[in-house]
Structure 1
Amino acid sequence: MLKDWSDVYLIGVPEIDEQHKGFFAASHQLYEGILGREGKNAVVDAIAFMRSYAEKHFDTEVDFMRRHEYPGLREHLHQHAAFFRRLDELENDLMIFGPSEDLAERALDITQDWLIDHIADEDMLYALHVKGRAAG
C-alpha cells in the first residue's frame, strides 16, 4: 500500500532527510509505473532512476557516517548492498514476467517499506550517534 511521506521519518540531518523524501517519491513513481503497466521500458527507466537515486543517497550517508566515525558503518554498507540485490531481482523478474500487480507490490516492499524500516532502525542509529557525540 502506498504511504505518504510523514515527518515522523525525519532523522534530523537536513540533507539526508531531503534525500529520503526524494527516495520516497521515487518509490511511488516506480510503483505507479508497474501498476499502470506502462511497459517494460518505462518501468526499467523507473528502476534505473531508483538505482541512481539510491547510489547518490547511500554515498551521502556513507560520507556522513565516515565524517562522524559511526561504528556501525560496515553493517550499514551490507544493508545498502542487500537493497541493490533486491532491486536487481525486481528488474530481473520484470524482464521475465512483465509488469503486474504482484510486481508492483514487491517494488513497494523493496523500496518504500524497506526505506521506512531502514530510516527507523538504521539511519536513526547514526543520527543518534552524531547527536550523542555533539552533546558529549
Structure 2
Amino acid sequence: MQYRLQGWSKKYELGIKEIDLQHQYFFKLITRLADELKNSSDLPYQKSLFTELGLYTHFHFVSEENLMHRSGYSGLQEHKKLHNKLIDGLNKNKLLFEEGHIEAIQVIDFLEMWFISHTVKEDRKFAEYING
C-alpha cells in the first residue's frame, strides 16, 4: 500500500504554534493507524486505535474552535460544520471497516485526504486571518 502522507511537510504548517503542534501529533496518529491497520489483524487493537484517533480529533477540533472564537474569526460557524462533517466521516469509515465493508486502504485514503485538504485549505483560511 502506498500512502500520501510520507512524512511531515512544511506545507501543513500554519504559523500558529498551538495548532501546528496539534497537527503534527494528528499526523503521527494517522500514520500510526495506517501502519497498524496494514500490519495487524487484531480487531480489538484496531478499534482502540480508532478510539484514540477519534478522541484526539475531538480534542483538536474543540481547541481549534476555541482559538477561532477568542480571535473573533467570522468563519467559525462554517468551520465547525466542516469539523462535524469530518467526525461523521471518521465514525462512518470506522464502522464500515469494523464490519468488513471496506478495506484499511479506504480508511487511510479518507484520513489522508481529510488531513491534507482540511489543513492546507480550510485551516489555512484561519491562519491567514490570524497572521494578517
Q: TM-score, normalised by structure 2?
A: 0.90
Give 1:51 shift.
0.4
How much has 1:73 moved relative to structure 2?
0.9
1:81-125, Cα deviation, whole Å (9 max, x unpaired): 111111111221122118xxx622222222222111111111110
Matches for 1:1-136 after TM superposition, within 5 Å: 1=3, 2-97=5-100, 103-132=103-132
SS of equivalent to 1:97: coil
Give the % identical residues.
27
How far apart in 2 are the matches of 1:14 and 1:103? 35
Aligned CA RMSD, in angstroms, stands at 1.5
- 1:32–1:104 CA contact under 8 A, matched in 2: no
Q: Secondary structure, in 3 states, of the residue corresponding to 2:6?
A: coil
Gaps of 5+ in 2: none
Q: Which runs of 5+ in 1 are unaligned?
A: none
Q: Number of aligned pairs?
A: 129
Contact 1:30-1:107 within 8 A present in 2 as well: no
The amino acid across from 2:77 in the alignment is R
- Mapped to 1, the partners of 2:65 and 2:114 lie a distance apart of 18
TM-score (norm 1): 0.87
Find the aligned partners of 1:112 and 1:53 in 2 and give their Cα distance: 16
Contact 2:15–2:131 (CA<8 Å) still a contact in 1? no
